Amino acid sequence: MAADNPFRFGSLALDDAFTDRVDELDELVSDVLNGQDVVLFAPRRYGKTSLMWRAAQLLLRKRVLVAQVDLMTTPTKEKLAEKLAQAIHDDIASPLFRAKERLRVFQGLRVTPVVTVDPDDGSLGFTFDAGHRRQDIDATLERLLELPAQLAGDRGRKVALVLDEFQEVVHIDRQLPKLMRAVFQTQPEVAHVYLGSQRHMLARIFSDENEPFWRSAKRMELGPIASAAFAPFIDARFAESGRAAAPEVVAAILELTHGQPYATQELCYFLWQETPARSRATPERLDAALARLLRSEHSHFSLIWQRATGPQRQVLQALAAEPGPVYGEGYRRRHGLPSASGVQRAVGALEGQELVARGPAGHDICEPFLAAWVRREQT
């Protein structure tokens, strides 16, 4: 029977696809067990949600109740109330109460949800209609945010409330952080874990002394996975599926991807496809894999390019050729960039889109394959 491709990208890295992060995983689990609030930051595709998923698996084995809400799916306070009610019912009330008792936890809400039953699996859904007075939906949200601590605390259980893409909170309602913080600061038995991918917005929420969440959570940032940890993972996945990868090829993969989890898994997926069974991945096959990958990403990268302004395109071309100090006069002259103020505006916009980031040696393009695409298609 033909082996399945052992590399995964585009979804959560689960089970055998989860790579390394041993120290970060231990730290996150320990923080939650200690009731410590944590803000977990990572650029997109660095695996923060996968890390939280693995941590939740371990926490559940220790009888910690874990409820999670993705704020990217809650554009209004009513939608947030719906997702909170769902998470509280499924992940906190269900392990604690018999079926007929679970809905009682929502008694007394200022706005009563409409409860629906899925005819296929019998699962419950919750809807809060729009049109209620602001103070009524705020009171309902406040009560829902109080429930995890109350339900778990009454039974001596620890609980973690995970809020994914937390930076979206300011788009739902500018007053919502104040409401959340007022509730959360009275919940020592709840570990609140805030996941986010937009550095500048999270910095404002947690580092601005004028914001309600100022210095309210331990900061934990995910970086790339070190080559010493990623290389054995790649070797093992190839070997277990009846293939091999030459050491220089593995080194070339990690040099291209800079150890970014998503990018590495994606390139390895295409390389595995290029490598026949009982064969060895070679530099030539790696080149072919990269070409196939760039073709598959062409529409995505083309859209980024079309939306970029002229100065932003110039900056992307320069960084694709040479990551470095884009504001420096020598760098700008070398790459034909506009004035320092023009470059600053272009870089600021690209940073806001998480396409460019600043490191110790200067700026660089965040997505390694976008840089490769620009070199091949736009220079």
192 and 107 fall within a common domain: yes
- Residue 1 in domain: no
Q: Which domain holds residue 237?
A: 227-296
- Please tell me the total count of domains within the chain: 3
122 and 208 fall within a common domain: yes
The per-residue pLDDT for 11 is: 53
Backbone phi and psi for residue 56, each to the nearest 5 degrees, phi listed first: -60, -40
38 and 185 fall within a common domain: yes
CATH of the domain at 361: 1.10.10
Model pTM?
0.81
Q: Which structure tokens are listed for 110? A: 């200022």
- Residue 309 in domain: yes
The per-residue pLDDT for 338 is: 93
Tens digits of per-residue pLDDT, 301-345? 999 999 999 999 999 999 999 999 999 999 999 999 999 999 999
Does residue 284 surpass a pLDDT of 50? yes
164 and 242 fall within a common domain: no
Which of 39-43, 50-54, 136-140, 355-359 is the most confident on average? 136-140
- Residue 5 in domain: no
The per-residue pLDDT for 18 is: 55
214 and 82 fall within a common domain: yes
> Are 355 and 316 spatial neighbours (Cβ–Cβ below 8 Å)?
yes
53 and 139 fall within a common domain: yes
Average of per-residue pLDDT across 21-33: 93
Q: How confident is the model at residue 45 (pLDDT cuts 50, 70, 90)?
A: confident
CATH of the domain at 130: 3.40.50.300
Average pLDDT, the chain: 91
Q: How confident is the model at residue 58 (pLDDT cuts 50, 70, 90)?
A: very high
- Residue 51 in domain: yes
111 and 172 fall within a common domain: yes
Does residue 285 surpass a pLDDT of 70? yes
285 and 356 fall within a common domain: no
Please give the share of the chain, as a percent, with pLDDT higher than 90. 75
Tens digits of per-residue pLDDT, 193-235? 999 987 778 888 999 999 999 999 999 988 888 899 899 999 9
For residues 282 and 294, what is the distance between their CA atoms, to the nearest angstrom? 18
Does residue 64 surpass a pLDDT of 90? yes
